[in-house]
Structure 1
Amino acid sequence: MEKTGCVVVGGGPAGLMLGLLLARAGVQVTVLEKHADFLRDFRGDTVHPSTIRLIDELGLGQEFRRLPQSRLQSVVFPVPGGRPVTMGDFDALRPPYNYIAMMPQWDFLNFLAAAAAEEPGFTLLMSHTVTGLVRDGGRVRGIRFRTPDGSEDALEADLVVATDGRHSLLRDAAGLAPKEYPVPFDTWWFRLPRHQAETGPVAGLIPAFGPGEALVALSRTDYYQMGYLAPKNAGARIRAEGVEGFRRRIAALRPDLADRMDAIGSLEDLHWLDVRLDRLLSWHINGLLCIGDAAHAMSPAGGVGINLAIQDAAATAAILAPALLRGRVAPADLRRVERRRRFPTVVVQTGQRLMHRAVFGPIMAGKRSRFPAAALFLARNVPAVRSIIPRFIAFGPRPEHAPAFARRAEPRPQPQP
């Protein structure tokens, strides 16, 4: 059985960022991803200022900004019979961290993987499916996995980090159980075309509400990414109504987009997200640590899941790199990571639970068909609210910086011949 310093299971944002940071510390790190590539649609694609700042500290800012992306600079709520209310204006933040970058997640993951591949201690194994843990004397010693040709193998490591998402196989194998919080809705993602006359700067995130349902629209260069929110267990109703019924619901919520409903060819064009909000009671056992969605599944409210996971990765690398270089990671080291990241997780999840209770719960129950008037009044008339909300979304309660060992200076532009 081969051995490495750290095995990271899951090639998402947290897994690849952790792999990059640890490799820059000189740790031998192997990341396993079960898919053959990163091309999966309707994954989280918001890169917040806290993450952009971290990328700058890694010396990768210029390359990151060359990736195809658009800028989300405001969250606007329409008000029937009145002028729209801007709930969050990121442009008011200090440049260059005054926007949320919107890009396909596969571009972001390929970017992180390419940066990590430049480090001699980094290995990325695609199409490798982890099947279980290797244990010895009450400690996790590595992982078992299936290779692309179907053969079984194992890899020993000083530490296993689970970044394999809200349905984490490894946290189940370790017997780590999350505490679940009620969520009043699920989301169905789909696309609608954006007409040529509508192209231009991203206008922001625009929601629409109706009794028992809601719709969010994110502008892209040539399409709108739409999220339809319906009560939990509404899948049977949506299937029974069929595609025509779904089209009617979307057109009623957004009459201005009714002319392009035929872009929803069938219900197969919808991507269902089982929205969860949970948090592990303990994030680790001896030899294994869970971070990101594997430790705390987030609601899409605020779009902060990716960035909270990346902050987890930064803290994990800063705290554990010295122990990994020594080849001895103790449970006390893992507790330090959990203690540092539990606080911001609790704060963000508490905010999401309040939003569920005050906004989405009543709407999904049919008791309300619009955003609370009191919140709109505060956003419109209290400047402090307009400044606090975007900063909280942009940076969160405890943003992490790149560890000193991972920082690099930006390359200077080459003179043109």
Structure 2
Amino acid sequence: MSCVIAGGGPAGAMLALLLARTGVEVTLLEKHADFLRDFRGDTIHPSTLQVLDELGLAGRFLALPHRKAHELSVVTDSGPIRLASLRGLPGRYDYIAFVPQWDFLDLITSEAARYPSFRLLMRAEAYDLIREGGAVRGLRYLDPSGEHEVRAALTVAADGRGSVLRERAGLAPQELGAPMDVLWFRVPREESDPEQPFLRVSSGHVVVAINRETYWQLAYVIRKGGYEELAGRGIEALREPVARMLPFTAGRLGVIGGFDDVSMLTVRLNRLRRWHRPGFLCIGDAAHAMSPVFGVGINLAVQDAVATAGLLAGALRSPGRGPVPEAALRRVQRRRMPPTLVTQAVQRLVQNQLIKPALTRRFGPPRVRPDLARVPVLNRLVRRFVGLGVRPEHVRATPILTPSSHNVDTAVGAEDPVEYPRMS
């Protein structure tokens, strides 16, 4: 095996597809039985849309139910403020597409499954690394039938912000701090409601509203560590501020029967100083957990995957190689660290200057014009940063395999094999 990837999120799935289409033998492990986990980030920005276009997948992606947002806006107690317009971005895509992440992952892994060098193992949870001669030579995982090993020249940890493999490699992230956590929940949507997603900010409260056609996916931002205190006051302590900030939802908040109907995201902002060991690499959230600010997490993860494939696919196709040396893996970190640093610096700025003051009730009506998109220099900076990122990556590795028909594997050795599910 040339490459094994732990984690079937955006980083792992995209890297597996990019490697498989260039002929690299790759196994992707996903610890769950499917991708249907609610309240994930799912804002697909123009940088990722461009990658999908370069892969010939843009048409299939845009056929999925989705909503386009051409503008970024915040609503304060003084009224709405248009922060930026994405129209005018270079390229074909000048909007953010809101698509459930499971649909995105279904698309990517379904395409990867058309290549004979790709294997997907569901219900396969990586728990340790295989080490030989001072290098990582693969991983160990559990599935319903027991323990197994996959040996590979490169082991990639794409297993998220709580990465087990990162810990096993002895890599610890530098915590940068976040002043908030996020409570996610659903509220029914009606036709008379606003159309576009938006950020609602008031003194002491912050809510993100995402239009899911038939319902609103709402994120109520709370101060870091404040969940127990809020929950102790009862569910009305959540319903009341949401009704006040989003009056159109007031008569529907009864669907939140209690905090069992709420999902909490513990926000972390961190990064590794070193992303690699011999034969081992971290990408995506395992290398740098991003704040929800600007919704760039998926897109940074995809960019990591594109850069990794472009830099390492050739080496991984070479027969008879040992573990991928750190010199090659260092090139990935050198390329992707600057975008990480800049993005996290901007996220920290927004956290400290907007979110933290709002949550500590020091937020007053901003003294800015209601349409910042009309300030040309500012609009260009914001739309490029949010839409394309600091260093947008492009698919460089040329495919050498012709995709075949359905090629999904099942969990090796499982007593009750799980075929990859087709999402509707």
How does the TM-score come out when normalised to structure 1?
Answer: 0.92
Q: C-alpha distance in 1, partners of 2:258/2:400?
A: 48
User: 2:379 maps to which residue?
Assistant: 386
Matched, 1:143 2:139: yes
Q: C-alpha distance in 2, partners of 1:389/1:263?
A: 36
Q: C-alpha distance in 1, partners of 2:293/2:173?
A: 20
- The one-letter amino acid paired with 1:257 is T
CA contact (8 A) 1:73 1:204 kept: no
User: 2:410 maps to which residue?
Assistant: none
How far is the alpha carbon of 1:197 from its aligned partner? 3.6
How far is the alpha carbon of 1:373 from its aligned partner? 2.6
CA contact (8 A) 1:212 1:369 kept: no
Moved more, 348-357 or 87-96: 87-96
Please give the secondary structure, in 2, of the residue aligned with 1:39. Answer: coil
CA contact (8 A) 1:213 1:231 kept: no
Write the deviation string for residues 55-110 of structure 1: whole angstroms up to 9, x where unpaired. 1111112111111111122122224445x221121234356311111111001101
Q: C-alpha distance in 1, partners of 2:150/2:400?
A: 29
CA contact (8 A) 1:46 1:306 kept: yes
Please give the secondary structure, in 2, of the residue aligned with 1:20. Answer: helix
User: 98, 107, 118: which is aligned to 1:122?
Assistant: 118
User: 97, 101, 106: which is aligned to 1:101?
Assistant: 97
Q: C-alpha distance in 1, partners of 2:393/2:70?
A: 22
User: 1:397 maps to which residue?
Assistant: 390
User: 2:181 maps to which residue?
Assistant: 186
CA contact (8 A) 2:75 2:81 kept: yes
CA contact (8 A) 2:30 2:125 kept: yes
User: 1:353 maps to which residue?
Assistant: 348
How far is the alpha carbon of 1:277 from its aligned partner? 0.3
Matched, 1:317 2:309: yes
Q: C-alpha distance in 2, partners of 1:6/1:344?
A: 25
Gaps of 5+ in 2: 403-424
- The one-letter amino acid paired with 2:72 is V
Percent sequence identity over matched residues? 46
User: 265, 268, 283: which is aligned to 2:260?
Assistant: 268
Q: C-alpha distance in 2, partners of 1:387/1:283?
A: 32
User: 2:286 maps to which residue?
Assistant: 294
User: 2:210 maps to which residue?
Assistant: 218
Q: C-alpha distance in 2, partners of 1:254/1:298?
A: 27
User: 1:415 maps to which residue?
Assistant: none
Aligned residue-pair number: 400
User: 1:15 maps to which residue?
Assistant: 12
Q: C-alpha distance in 2, partners of 1:96/1:277?
A: 31
- The one-letter amino acid paired with 1:393 is V
Please give the secondary structure, in 2, of the residue aligned with 1:317. Answer: helix
How far is the alpha carbon of 1:219 from its aligned partner? 1.4
CA 1:103–1:380: 2 relative to 1, 3 Å:
closer
Matched, 1:166 2:158: no
Q: C-alpha distance in 1, partners of 2:11/2:373?
A: 36
Matched, 1:64 2:58: no
How far is the alpha carbon of 1:224 from its aligned partner? 1.1
Matched, 1:254 2:249: no
- The one-letter amino acid paired with 2:138 is G
CA contact (8 A) 2:309 2:397 kept: no
How far is the alpha carbon of 1:173 from its aligned partner? 0.6
CA contact (8 A) 1:212 1:231 kept: no
CA 1:319–1:115: 2 relative to 1, 3 Å:
same
User: 19, 31, 46: which is aligned to 2:28?
Assistant: 31
- The one-letter amino acid paired with 1:165 is G
Please give the secondary structure, in 1, of the residue aligned with 2:362. Answer: coil
CA contact (8 A) 1:183 1:275 kept: yes
CA 1:5–1:358: 2 relative to 1, 3 Å:
same
Report the RMSD for the aligned CA atoms in angstroms: 1.9
Q: C-alpha distance in 1, partners of 2:371/2:65?
A: 35
User: 240, 244, 247: which is aligned to 2:236?
Assistant: 244
Matched, 1:373 2:367: yes
CA 1:79–1:247: 2 relative to 1, 3 Å:
closer
User: 203, 208, 222: which is aligned to 2:200?
Assistant: 208
* Between structures 1 and 2, the one with greater helix share: 1
CA contact (8 A) 1:85 1:379 kept: yes
CA contact (8 A) 2:203 2:361 kept: yes
CA contact (8 A) 2:76 2:200 kept: no
How does the TM-score come out when normalised to structure 2?
Answer: 0.90
- The one-letter amino acid paired with 2:130 is V
CA contact (8 A) 2:74 2:201 kept: no
How far is the alpha carbon of 1:386 from its aligned partner? 2.0
Matched, 1:231 2:223: yes
- The one-letter amino acid paired with 2:372 is A
How far is the alpha carbon of 1:32 from its aligned partner? 0.4
Moved more, 204-213 or 400-409: 400-409
CA contact (8 A) 1:75 1:204 kept: no
How far is the alpha carbon of 1:208 from its aligned partner? 1.8
How far is the alpha carbon of 1:392 from its aligned partner? 1.1
- The one-letter amino acid paired with 1:134 is I
Q: C-alpha distance in 1, partners of 2:130/2:26?
A: 17
How far is the alpha carbon of 1:380 from its aligned partner? 5.8
How far is the alpha carbon of 1:204 from its aligned partner? 2.7
Q: C-alpha distance in 2, partners of 1:233/1:406?
A: 47
CA 1:407–1:260: 2 relative to 1, 3 Å:
farther
Please give the secondary structure, in 2, of the residue aligned with 1:345. Answer: helix
User: 104, 110, 123: which is aligned to 2:106?
Assistant: 110
Q: C-alpha distance in 2, partners of 1:68/1:164?
A: 27
